[in-house]
Amino acid sequence: MKVLITGGLGFLGRRLAQAILDRGTLITADGTEQTVENVVLFDHAVPDVAPFADDMRVQIFIGDISDRTVVFSLVDQAGMSIFHLASIVSGEGETNFDDAIRVNLDGGLNVLEAARTVGGPCKIVATSSLAGFGGQLPEVVGDTTRLVPQTTYGTTKVILELLINDYSRKGFLDGRTARLPTVIVRPGQPNAAASSFFSGVFREPLRGVTCALPVEPSQLAAVTGYRSVIRDLMILHDLSADQLGHDRTLGFPALNISVQDMLDALEHVGGAEARDLVSVEADPTVQAIVSTWPTALEARRALSLGLTHEQSLYEIVSDYMEDYGLVARNGE
Ligand SMILES: NC(=O)c1ccc[n+]([C@@H]2O[C@H](COP(=O)([O-])OP(=O)(O)OC[C@H]3O[C@@H](n4cnc5c(N)ncnc54)[C@H](O)[C@@H]3O)[C@@H](O)[C@H]2O)c1
């Protein structure tokens, strides 16, 4: 079978590709386990070094998700699977409304319309965000909390959630959406997401670089680790349509923490010198966006369907350090 990952050269796209290649099979819309013969990574960012160069199953395709012709040329087989991750991120979407609509909405519709035309149900897993929530929120946000996004990014994500429900209801495709908490620890450089500092607070000090926190340590947040997200995206893919029913969106499980908890975890693994590299430098723009997001999530439906999450911030940071060859100061 063919697998297409849009945004396949991004943070989660690359890790997902590796996990799919490692496992080598996925369960298709007809319920059978199929061997993955071809993984196409589609992205508009040209990588310095092409990943997976040694794996003959992988093809990299550079283009724009809002280009309908390109998307239709890549979504070309009945029964294929599409992980739709390509997206403008939250901060970027607030400063560039037109790009957010073009990439997140037009691009998403291109994927759905292309899948509708191939003549047999494709499985689609799209990624939404906790930024879909906003406005007057309860203390703990759950599966049935009303979605009133306060950013263009969040709005485009919610629209795609609803479209996936409807395209699935009509039988055009077999879709599902992962509504993700903030995923940490993102490697590399800070990005334009308002949530970027949630990774930076670990990533920068652990490589001896200062980090400016745009929010107060008392800020609450719902975060999760990338290992569990990748595992859960594959579980979500493999669930049957019947298990999901009418509502094809699963709120992914999260750890409900404070930024102070993150600073404590940083000090635990990196010592006081790592903690001292972090300073609070309030950024009203970031604060305004982050303050609209849920501060605590519960994900009963996802947990009941077998999705998982890390048990502690310490576990998340330890996974990151192991994956990126960093040694904890406490020797653990
Ligand atoms: N990482 C998180 O904390 C988080 C939280 C909630 C939701 N999400 C969602 O998960 C998905 C993956 O997130 P990520 O952290 O890997 O982000 P990322 O920015 O690393 O990856 C997204 C990829 O999409 C690509 N892209 C952007 N515009 C494109 C276009 N016009 N055409 C083709 N490709 C384009 C980017 O080049 C990038 O490689 C996104 O949909 C994001 O909104 C992520």
Residue 254, pLDDT above cutoff 80:
yes
Cβ 89 under 6 angstroms from ligand 1: yes
**Parallel, antiparallel or unpaired: strands 174-180 and 220-225:** unpaired
Name the residue at shortest CA distance from atom 26 of ligand 1.
86
Cβ 106 under 6 angstroms from ligand 1: no
Cβ 65 under 6 angstroms from ligand 1: yes
Cβ 295 under 6 angstroms from ligand 1: no
Q: What is the largest CA-CA distance in the chain?
A: 59
Distance CA 117, CA 114 (A): 5
Q: What is the pLDDT of residue 328?
A: 67
> Could you tell me which residues are beta bridge partners of residue 58?
39
Q: What is the pLDDT of residue 63?
A: 98
How far does the centroid of ligand 1 lie from the alpha carbon of residue 329, in Å? 32
Span 264-275, average pLDDT? 94
Q: What is the pLDDT of residue 90?
A: 81
CB proximity list for 321: less than 8 A, separation 6 or greater = 206, 269, 327, 328
DSSP letter, residue 145: -
How far does the centroid of ligand 1 lie from the alpha carbon of residue 127, in Å? 9
pTM across the whole model: 0.96
Q: What is the pLDDT of residue 275?
A: 95
Is-catalytic flag, 167? Answer: no
Span 134-141, average pLDDT? 94
Span 56-77, average pLDDT? 98
Q: What is the pLDDT of residue 11?
A: 95
Q: What is the pLDDT of residue 146?
A: 96
pLDDT band for position 191 (cuts 50, 70, 90): confident
How far does the centroid of ligand 1 lie from the alpha carbon of residue 128, in Å? 10
Q: What is the pLDDT of residue 190?
A: 86
Span 139-164, average pLDDT? 96
Task: For the sheet with 220-225, list strands across it.
Answer: 182-184, 220-225, 255-258
pLDDT in tens, 167-176: 999 999 999 9
pLDDT in tens, 88-125: 988 889 899 999 999 999 999 999 999 999 988 999 99
CATH placement of domain 2-181+225-251: 3.40.50.720
Determine how many CB atoms are found less than 10 A away from the CB of residue 220. 17
Distance CA 196, CA 89 (A): 10
Name the residue at shortest CA distance from atom 31 of ligand 1.
64
How far does the centroid of ligand 1 lie from the alpha carbon of residue 141, in Å? 23
Distance CA 329, CA 243 (A): 45
Cβ 87 under 6 angstroms from ligand 1: yes
Name the residue at shortest CA distance from atom 7 of ligand 1.
129
How far does the centroid of ligand 1 lie from the alpha carbon of residue 89, in Å? 6
pLDDT in tens, 2-29: 999 999 999 999 999 999 999 999 999 9
Q: What is the pLDDT of residue 330?
A: 59
| 201 closest CA partner among 214, 90, 328, 88 | 214
Cβ 64 under 6 angstroms from ligand 1: yes
pLDDT band for position 331 (cuts 50, 70, 90): low
Determine how many CB atoms are found less than 10 A away from the CB of residue 170. 9
Ligand 1 atom closest to residue 126's alpha carbon, by position in its atom list = 41
User: Could you say which of 153, 167, 226, 320 is catalytic?
Assistant: 153
Residue 329, pLDDT above cutoff 70:
no
Q: What is the pLDDT of residue 325?
A: 85
Q: Say which residue the tokens 């609803």 belong to.
A: 162
Distance CA 181, CA 307 (A): 14
Judged by average pLDDT, the poorest of 76-80, 134-138, 318-322, 326-330 is 326-330
Return mean pLDDT, the chain.
95
Residue type, 49: V
Q: What is the pLDDT of residue 45?
A: 87
pLDDT in tens, 199-235: 999 999 999 999 999 999 999 999 999 999 999 999 9
- Show me where the domains of the chain are located: 2-181+225-251, 184-221+255-297+310-323
| Percent of the chain with pLDDT strictly greater than 90 | 88
Span 295-309, average pLDDT? 96
Residue 128, pLDDT above cutoff 90:
yes
To the nearest 10°, report the CA torsion of 148, 149, 152, 156: -80
CB proximity list for 230: less than 8 A, separation 6 or greater = 12, 15, 16, 19
Q: What is the pLDDT of residue 248?
A: 98
CATH placement of domain 184-221+255-297+310-323: 3.90.25.10
Span 41-51, average pLDDT? 92
Name the residue at shortest CA distance from atom 34 of ligand 1.
43
